[in-house]
């Protein structure tokens, strides 16, 4: 079952990256729960679609996966440019890199529950660094 979950998860990430919403139900349970919120498949899909609207260059990259059936843990890496606010931070098109530590429980071969933690501190540090660079080296006409 371990290799089955690894393949299933890799295919799920490919589905997200392709924004293949019609096939999301092959990977996600109808009654999926995300961070203790009962979203259901429709709500989960809506959340992902909103993520792509807010972050047009969003791409999920698997750093590593640990599997203990029926659970799977992964560290995902992101390098993207959110268009406005992200996690309450004014990113406004700045390029940021961050990690997400995410845990899944599978039921009937589909993701039934998701626990997700994003490294917001890493994003804040990058934004502060970018702001400091702009202050130290203002562009002509923007001083």
Q: What's the pLDDT at 12?
A: 98
How many C-alpha atoms does 23 have within 13 Å on its Cβ side? 11
Q: What's the pLDDT at 104?
A: 98
Q: Cβ(62)–Cβ(8) under 8 Å?
A: no
Q: Which domains does the chain have, with CATH numbers?
A: 2-136 (3.10.450.50)
Question: What does pTM read for this prediction?
Answer: 0.89
- Is pLDDT of 133 > 90? no
Question: If you average pLDDT over residues 99-112, what whole number do you get?
Answer: 97
> What are the pLDDT digits (tens) for 64-92?
999 999 999 999 999 999 998 888 888 88
- Higher-confidence residue of 123 and 6: namely 6
> What are the pLDDT digits (tens) for 9-43?
999 999 999 999 999 999 999 999 999 999 999 99
Residue positions counted in the chain: 143
Q: Pick from 31, 105, 40: which is nearest to 71 by CA?
A: 105
Question: If you average pLDDT over residues 50-64, what whole number do you get?
Answer: 96
111 vs 108: CA distance, rounded Å: 8
- Is pLDDT of 141 > 70? no
Residue 1 confidence class, pLDDT cut points 50, 70, 90: low
């Amino acid at each position: 079952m371990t290799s089955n979950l690894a393949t299933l998860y890799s295919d799920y990430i490919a589905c997200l990256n392709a924004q293949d919403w019609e096939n999301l139900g092959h990977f996600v349970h109808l009654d999926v729960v995300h961070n203790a919120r009962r979203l259901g498949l429709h709500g989960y899909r809506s959340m992902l679609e909103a993520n792509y609207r807010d972050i047009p260059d969003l791409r999920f990259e698997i750093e590593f996966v640990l599997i203990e059936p029926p659970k799977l843990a992964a560290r995902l890496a992101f390098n993207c440019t959110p268009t406005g606010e992200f996690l309450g931070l004014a990113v406004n098109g700045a390029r940021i890199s961050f990690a997400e530590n995410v845990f899944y429980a599978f039921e009937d071969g589909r993701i039934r529950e998701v626990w997700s933690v994003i490294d917001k501190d890493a994003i804040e540090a990058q934004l502060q660094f970018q702001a400091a660079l702009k202050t130290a080296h203002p562009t002509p006409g923007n001083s």
